[in-house]
Amino acid sequence: MLMYHSVGDPMDDPYRVTVSPARLDRQLRWLRGHGLTGVSMTELLRARELGRAAGLVGLTFDDGYADFTEHALPLLRRHGCTATVFALPGLLGGANDWDRPGPRKPLLTADGIREAARAGMEIGSHGLLHRDLTTADEETLHRETHHSRTLLRDITGRAPEGFCYPYGTVDPRAAEAVRTAGYRYACATGAGPLTGMYALPRVHIGERDTTWRLRVKRALHPLRRPRTPRAHRAQREDR
């Protein structure tokens, strides 16, 4: 499972969360060339249940940046891929004010979220206001999980199945709140003691990540270190 954020101009990006459209294009082409298909989290998890997840890579886009519909969507379509967008229904048409200092990036409006959903993308919740759930009081925790789900359902006509923890921070209390709010799964960042359906680990992909092919292989086969000549060749191409 791969984790993207913004797709646009990667200059002036202190948090290294922006990937250029040209790089995303190359990455998706590389996936397809290697018999892999990028899919939404729900598609990946359903395929896993059926034992048919071979060749599928979960693609996620956190924060729901407005550049998703402008840059990522056309590329995903061109390469026959889908993805999950984790949106912030409490900040519709707002900006990433939690990343200070740093460039302001506009977030999807309700129309943008609907456009992504209509194009076959999965819409998940990233909470309402990008709050760290591990430090949230009970009321905030409930609002961020339950209310964000209701708002997204009102926007798309479908209650989201997935949640993604802001900052990737999760503890048992946050995971339980997400589960009782009705989500079927939740994404974290790296692996940890809570790894499971409510803390799925993901691999961060950034513009400067020149070793991304190796990371994709590790994400696909976390316990296996490929030793085939082909894998060696691919590793060398990264440098």
Q: Please report, for residues 132, 154, 193, the alpha-carbon distance to residue 171 in angstroms, rounded to integers and kept in the order given.
A: 11, 28, 9
Q: What character string, x for contact with Zn ion (CB under 5 A) and - otherwise, covers 209-228? A: --------------------
Closest CA to 74 of 21, 123, 19, 5: 21
Asked if 122 is part of the footprint of Zn ion (rule: CB under 5 A), the reply reads no
Report if residue 63 touches Zn ion, rule: CB under 5 A.
yes
Kindly tell me which of 61 and 212 has the beta carbon lying closer to Zn ion: 61
13 binds Zn ion (CB under 5 A): no
207 binds Zn ion (CB under 5 A): no
144 near Zn ion, judged by CB under 5 A:
no
CA distance 162 to 64: 14
**Residue span 158-177 as binding mask against Zn ion, x where in contact by CB under 5 A, dash where not:** --------x-----------
Q: Which of 62, 67, 144, 207 binds Zn ion (CB under 5 A)?
A: 62
Cα distances from 6 to residues 65, 177, 190, 211, in angstroms, run 6, 27, 19, 19
CA atoms of 81 and 71, how far apart (whole Å): 14
**66 within 8 A of 116, measured Cβ to Cβ:** no
CB 187 within 8 A of CB 127: no
Helix count and strand count (H, E) for the chain: 10, 10
Which span (20-28, 61-69, 117-125, 181-189) binds Zn ion, by CB under 5 A? 61-69
Q: Which of the ranges 15-23, 62-70, 115-123, 220-228 carries the binding residues for Zn ion, by CB under 5 A?
A: 62-70
Nearer to Zn ion, 163 or 212 (CB): 163
Q: Which residues bind Zn ion (CB under 5 A)?
A: 62-63, 166
